[in-house]
Chain A
Amino acid sequence: MGKSSKDKRDAYYRLAKEQGWRARSAFKLIQLDEQFDLFSGVTRVVDLCAAPGSWSQVLSRVLIKGESFGRRAWDEKQKREGEALPGGVEEKEGDGHRDGEEEKQVKLGELRPRKDVKIVAVDLQPMASLEGITSLKGDITTPSTVTRILQALDPDTYVNDAEDSGSHPVDLVLSDGAPDVTGLHDLDIYIQSQLLYSALNLALRILKPGGKFVAKVFRGKDVDLIYAQLRCFFTSVHCAKPRSSRASSLEAFVVCEGFNIPKGYKVDPKRPVGLGAQVPVPKKKQKDIQSFDGGGQRRTVREDGVSVLDLESDEEEDKNRWIAPFVACGDLSAWDADATYHLPKDRVSLDPVQPPTAPPYKRALELRRQQGGLYGKTSK
């Protein structure tokens, strides 16, 4: 998105600064959790392509500090107000890091830090440290990164296992990584899919059965091929779009739950899953087939009166393609990333929490500045 079409400073950008997030993308994870309850029962998480670290920050504050955000926080607040305080102390949503308030929350049993939480964040870029998070600098496409992650998760008990017989100790693998887009959309989509495959291949080696995998995807040509492959390894695959992700962006997230390696399939780091790789296709449930009529259509009427027409997917024609169900996440009462909000005139603009990590053109910028010229300006 260019500068000319929209101010970068949308509602979530402002909110991120107000709530102390390193990037607005923190809200995407919070809203994905609202929809899929991602963090329930989760203690061991690997965050890939983590820099600048807003997702790790969410993990740190939810799992380690035990804070709640978004709708969860709202629900709990409602409950709390109903139960406890007739006098009512006003609290701001998601503003739990002030000392006084934290104390109160502890008193009310609000902060629920989990035990034995292990979070490993991996990125090529350096990342500012976060409480309770082990950060690794590494390349997720390299097989040895798996070893380093496992080592970081269990520094005491890890045994170097050259044969990769596979301890699978991780509950949740996250990847919010995206390439620096070039403008050739199919190239960007391709590179993004390669990042997703790298994250998936890594996840296949460390996820515990029933584990979850969440990764950014650009919905473009052949995205249905990726969905179909993911469905082979997970019992449930959704394409989710948080409300904090702009409607004008191609971006969405695959949320895969119920990790399950199909019978007879062996995860081989030398033969990674990728475009065109053959993976066993799960059999369709008998019930599913029957509910379609002879024409491959099925009609149901929703509660609100909207008729829904489902079409039987053309799996007979192409087993390798499948469209994952789409889910928009985040309440309709949440902020809209595309909308213009009327702000009070006396509002003070806050500085970003974390400046961007070193971009590749950093040195070029410095050199140009030394020479006294403007840099990075392109003609319209």
Chain B
Amino acid sequence: MNNISQNTSTRLASHLSISPSHHNAVREWLTSSFPLVQLNVAFMDEITVPKVESALNPVTALAFLALSTSKPYLLAGEGQFLKVFDYKRGTFIRTEQIFDSQAIYGIVCRSLPEDAGHNGTCLIWGGRSICLISIEADLNINGKPLVKVHQHMPEVLWDDWILDACFRHPNITDSGSGKNTVEAILVTAHNDLLCLKFVEKSAETRETRSLYRIASGPNSILYSAHMLLADAGPRLLVAAGTVFGEVLLWSFTSDPSVSREIKLHYRFTGHEGSVFGFRISEVAQTGAVKRILASCSDDRTIKTWDISDTSSSEKVKPLSDGGLNNSEAGLLDETNEVDSTGCLAMIMGHASRIWGLRFLIQKDGCWDLISYGEDSTAQIWRTTHSSHSGKNVWAMAVFRESGIECIVATGGADGCITAYKPLLHGMPTRTGAWTSQYTMDEVSKTFQTTSSEPSPTQAGKAKSITETFFDSLKGSWKLTRNLDSLIRYFLQPKFIVTSSCFLDTEDWIILGSRNGDIAIYDLTHTTPNSAVDVTPDCFQRIHGEDAITLIQIVPRDVSKLTGRIAILTAGQDGKWAIHHVFHKLQDSKLCVTLQTIHVGMPPFGPNIEGACVDPTSKDLLLWGFRSKQFIVWNESQKTEVMTVDCGGAHRNYAYAHRNDGSGGGNFVYTKASICHVLSQTQASHQVIQHGGHGREIKAMALSPAIKTGDDVDLRFVATGAEDTAIRIFDLNARLKCLSIVTKHTTGIQQLRWSSNGQLLFSAAGCEEFLVWRLQSAPFVTFGIVCEAQCPTVTEEVDLRIMNFATEEIHSTHDPDDVPYEPDYLLSKVYSDSSIRLFRYHTGRESFELLTEGSYTTYCLTQAAYLHIGETLNGLCTASTDGHPALWPHANPLSWHSEDLPRSPPLHWSTRTGIHQSSVKALDSVTISESETLIVTGGDDGAVAFTRVGIHSPSEVVFEAASLLIPGAHASAVFIGKPTSDRQGENPEGFILANVGNERSGSTRRKWERRVSQSVGWRMFTPPSQTPVP
């Protein structure tokens, strides 16, 4: 249900690059007997694949590729695209489309000679698709990596899903002809082994590719499988996990001397749920256990199994009779008792399902194991790294940098890729890893100083000559200035100062109180050695009713963009905010005004203890505590920089940021009467690509172009997801996330922008409806604050606003009222079949309920305004019953007048049962002076066009006629977007881009991709028009 708001439709199409070459792609024309006006529909033969400019997909595969130019490159599979990153520099290099529409689920890489060549070969798979590519890497003149991707074998489809793959050792496949032969083995979801052979064109041979089945393992449906070439030879070990939780270990040997042999070595039944991931370890040189198998499962456990002995086995029948069927035990054990035979160890650390695991290093018979899962963490035994949003880490890659050091990269459903070096077994604690701990003795030798600000509740340091103190004499607080020339300012009653700041340029003192108020004292006209009762300018409830813990001036070089004085505050409500502070003439008196322009909430708290701006990167850093951890958070990049298990907030501590852009810092704290110093030279993990929600995106809207001072117009994408957050992305900066705003408590249903791009409307369950205002702000490109919340009108706890339509109301405004902003007419449709029209008074920041109505008992799903010509004549809704309904308004002229009268209840006039079930998409386009066309898409896979005209202009009586195309898509149609084909007032035709097929996870690109998969419809009117050849 990702509808793009109406006012952005045309721009969206241009973004997707639907080219005019479509004119030539029209196959056939037909004249219809459409009742009102002849309407032609053409089926478009070819569909141009729109170019995807930016995409942020779940990261579903990761692999390191070591080549001479970079050690290593990081390859990420995101949707059908392969992205190449330079790991060391943390930079994006290029993206390559691998599959037509299938997402990439696995990548294996090989480079020859090991780590030192210019060329790598990668086998990529996902679903039934397989692709073989070569990556050639070089450095350009500036020493920057240059990567070429060549597809040896473009996408091939096998009959079954591919679960794992590995390359054959070169010494087996190479017949002396050189490195141009690639042989790989793949395992499918039905436990079949496939062989892929590729021989590059050479002087003697022509290029050949082949893919064929070589063996069948025990017949079962698998959730997961893993393969390993054992004994550096012809034997392949296969670990397979069935949907019923069994673990099978079997081997396949194809040695010309031994002949083909399939053996089943182990069958473990210890898991209580499906097994999602496996790894087979390397052989240990010492210890009793030589080789282990690790598996992770639906039952939230990781189990390790002793598979040292792979010589004994059940002999299995050869391939010829259709696979081995000795597993035809068929009957499950009636008792279904879990058999833990062979299980070495069991660990439970994840909060939900575990998708996969990797062995890191093996030393002295000990293995370090890392696992990742649905709870969006990667865990090394009990060490947890959580750097993803939402749910699910889907992909992981491990690179062994040296004998005992590894780099672990993880990719999540949020599209984020991070990398870090874990602290492993047997590793000296002070080298290699990025974080170190020291005792006090070592500190004195290692560090010069670590700076620490005094706590702001005691004193706020501003100028060397000015110090402010707070005194609590006789129960009231006083403020004094300058020790040698005391001026005393009386505080407001009950104003308990919790934070302060001195603005030397303006001579202002800004104080924050325990109950969330801010007071600004103008010190300009004060004389020394006096007690003055200056009335401060007070601003209440800046951080709710919680104490303001921090007030800081935004450095001039950061706030210069806006040219205004900005302060930053943080409170015990867990939020931080940016405010503009300026003089304003009010009642012919100059007073100071504070305007909040941005409120953010970092993922820790509620106590935000400190903040600073890194002078190098200009990033805003916030720090505080989250349960037992100390967290340093980079708000500008939305990443966690430092995480320390210090025991919680109740201790002495100090944090000093390194201020060199590296993300490192020094943290000193006491724990159990011991002083600890933690020094980080860089962030705890490197963010290679920033992510998104990590949960299902339920609504999105593309903003209009927003003017900034610079030449470049800003364009935002707002998304709302199941995680109840709204994220604002910069469309022009590879979808960088600018803001995460959280105020909704339920999943977002719909988002729409105002036409000037300054307001964003959002609707969700529990009748939540919010208005957000965007404006220029430091640190975050654009600040966003919740300007108003629509009060609920019913007592129903579970009433969802399913959709809404917005329309500007222009009143005859006072020319002095600058800047002028229109009001908005908001028509909301609800899950209990009700409909309500509100007016949002922009100036007053308040809502007014104008009228309401009720449809049936069906859940309404869609709402759009109906314009006939220039006039707004009513509303069109659709619901789960498949009926579009038209709601004329009695007095359409009144919509544009100054004061909307409270109208009589709304009633629908026309209702047609077009779709069989829920209408998932609805949009309208004006096709002539007297007619509007409504396009609907349904859960039934049908697309319908409904023409709406007005019977008589004096009273609004709609007449409508519909054309239905059943089976336009194989499944639900989610977006039907008519986009203007030509410039001008009355376009003679338009292209309808339909989005059908499946609904998928958090892919922002989903509708983009599906435009290519869908059927395109082209409509022309009037019919006398000669069709484009």
A-B complex is real: yes
A: which residues have CB within 8 A of B? Answer: 2, 4-7, 124, 137-139, 141-145, 148, 179-180, 182-186, 189-191, 194, 198, 218-221, 223-224, 227, 241, 243, 247-248, 250, 270-271, 274-277, 293-297, 299, 301-302, 304-311, 313, 323, 325-328, 332, 336-342, 359-364, 367-368, 375-380
- On whether the beta carbons of A380 and B723 are closer than 8 Å, the reply is yes
Nearest to B392 among chain A residues (CB) is A183
Q: Is the CB of B918 within 8 A of A338?
A: yes
- The verdict on B467 contacting chain A, using a C-beta distance below 8 Å, is no
* Subset of 12 A-B contacts with CB under 8 Å: A5-B698, A189-B998, A248-B1, A296-B28, A306-B914, A306-B961, A309-B965, A326-B916, A336-B881, A340-B830, A360-B274, A368-B348
Interchain nearest-CB distance for B664 vs A (Å): 26
CA distance A339 to B724 in the complex (A): 20
Cβ-based interface call for B366 (8 A): no
> A residues within 8 A CB of B920?
247
Complex CA distance for A6 and B832, rounded to whole angstroms: 13
Residues of the B chain whose Cβ atoms lie less than 8 Å from the Cβ of A6: 747, 765, 798, 800
User: Contact: B917 with A276, CB < 8 Å?
Assistant: no
Count of chain A to chain B residue pairs whose CB atoms are closer than 8 Å in the complex? 275
Return B108 CB to nearest CB of chain A, in Å: 19
Known: A2-B722, A5-B747, A294-B28. 5 other contacts (CB 8 A): A6-B798, A308-B966, A339-B858, A378-B391, A379-B375
Q: Are B796 and A342 in contact (CB under 8 A)?
A: yes
Q: How far is the CA of A274 from the CA of B140 in the complex (A)?
A: 50
A274-B159 in contact (CB<8A): yes
Residue numbers in B under 8 Å from A301 (CB-CB): 33
Assuming the contacts A307-B33, A338-B831, A360-B297, asked whether A332 and B881 have C-beta atoms less than 8 A apart, the reply is yes
Q: Which of A144, A336, A375 contacts B859 (CB 8 A)?
A: A336
Q: Is the CB of A191 within 8 A of B967?
A: no
A243: nearest chain-B partner, CB-CB: B917
| A323 adjacent to B967 (CB under 8 Å) | yes
Q: How many whole Å from A374's CB to the nearest CB in chain B?
A: 9
In the complex, what residues of B have CB within 8 A of residue A375's CB? 351
B897 proximal to A (CB < 8 A): no
Minimum Cβ distance to chain B for residue A170 (Å): 19
| Residues of chain A contacted by B28 (CB below 8 angstroms) | 294-297
Most chain B CB neighbours (cut-off 10 Å) among A189, A220, A294, A378: A378
CA distance A139 to B242 in the complex (A): 12
Name the interface size band of chain B: 35 or more
Chain B residue nearest to A11 (CB atoms) is B857
B189 contact set on A, CB distance < 8 A: 190, 194
CB distance A310 to B332 under 8 Å? no
Q: How far is the CA of A219 from the CA of B941 in the complex (A)?
A: 10
B351 touches A380 (CB 8 A): no
Stretch at the interface among B298-306, B511-519, B676-684: B298-306
- Closest chain A residue to B944 by CB distance? A306
Cβ-defined partner of A247 (8 Å) among B60, B917, B963, B969: B917
In contact, A5 and B765 (Cβ under 8 angstroms): yes
Shortest Cβ distance from residue A36 to the other chain B in the assembled complex, whole angstroms: 14
Contact A137 B273, CB 8 Å, known A183-B392, A308-B964? no
- For residue A307, which residues in chain B have a CB less than 8 angstroms away from its CB? 32-35, 961-964
**Which of B351, B392, B799, B971 gathers most chain A CB within 10 Å?**
B971
Verify B765–A139 contact, CB threshold 8 A: no
B275 nearest CB across to chain A (Å): 10
Contact A250 B272 (CB under 8 A): no
Given the complex, which residues of B lie within 8 Å of A148, measured CB to CB? 331
Contact status B160-A186, CB under 8 Å: no
Please determine whether B998 and A138 come into contact, CB atoms closer than 8 angstroms: no
CB distance from A190 to the nearest CB of B (A): 6
Q: In the complex, what distance in Å separates the CA atom of A271 from the CA atom of B322?
A: 8
| Bound Cα distance from A326 to B966, whole angstroms | 8
A2 pairs with B970, CB closer than 8 A? no
Sorted nearest first, the 8 A-B pairs with minimum C-beta distance are A360-B273, A276-B159, A5-B747, A144-B330, A247-B918, A219-B971, A220-B998, A295-B28
Q: A143-B328, A180-B274 in contact; A323/B970 too (CB < 8 A)?
A: yes
> Is B268 engaged at the interface, CB distance under 8 Å to the other chain?
no
Q: Is B62 an interface residue (CB 8 A)?
A: no
The smallest beta-carbon distance between B730 and chain A, in angstroms, is: 23
Which one of A2, A6, A299 has the greatest number of beta carbons of chain B within 10 Å?
A: A2
Q: In the bound complex, how far is the Cα of B962 from the Cα of A243, in angstroms?
A: 24
1/0 contact string of B705-746 vs chain A (CB within 8 Å): 000000000000000001111000000000000000000011
The answer to whether B171 has its CB under 8 Å from any CB of chain A is no
| Residue B43 CB within 8 A of the other chain | yes
**Given A275-B128, A308-B964, A325-B966; A364-B348 close (CB under 8 Å):** yes
In the assembled complex, the Cα of A211 lies from the Cα of B918 at a distance in Å of: 31
Query: Chain A nearest CB: distance from B51 CB in Å?
Result: 21
Interface positions of B from 267 to 295, Cβ below 8 Å from A:
272-274, 276
Give B390's nearest chain A residue, CB to CB.
Answer: A380
Interface 1/0s, chain B 937-976, versus A by CB < 8 A? 0011110100000000000000001111111111110000
Complex interface bits, B368-411 against A, C-beta within 8 A gives 1, otherwise 0: 00000011100000000010001110100000000000000000
Q: Please name the residue on chain B nearest to A375 by beta carbon.
A: B351
Closest chain A residue to B832, Cβ basis: A340
Which residues 10-62 of B have a CB within 8 angstroms of A? 27-30, 32-35, 41, 43, 58, 60
How far, in whole Å, are A179 and B189 apart by their CA atoms in the complex? 15
Which of these, A2, A293, A367, contacts B747 with CB under 8 Å? A2
Chain B residues near A247 (CB-CB < 8 A): 859, 861, 880, 917-918, 920, 939
Which residue of chain A is the closest to B221 with respect to CB atoms? A194
Expressed in whole angstroms, the Cα–Cα distance for A250 and B696 within the complex equals 14
Instruction: Give the nearest-CB partner of A185 in chain B.
Output: B1000
A295 neighbours in B (Cβ, 8 Å): 27-30, 43
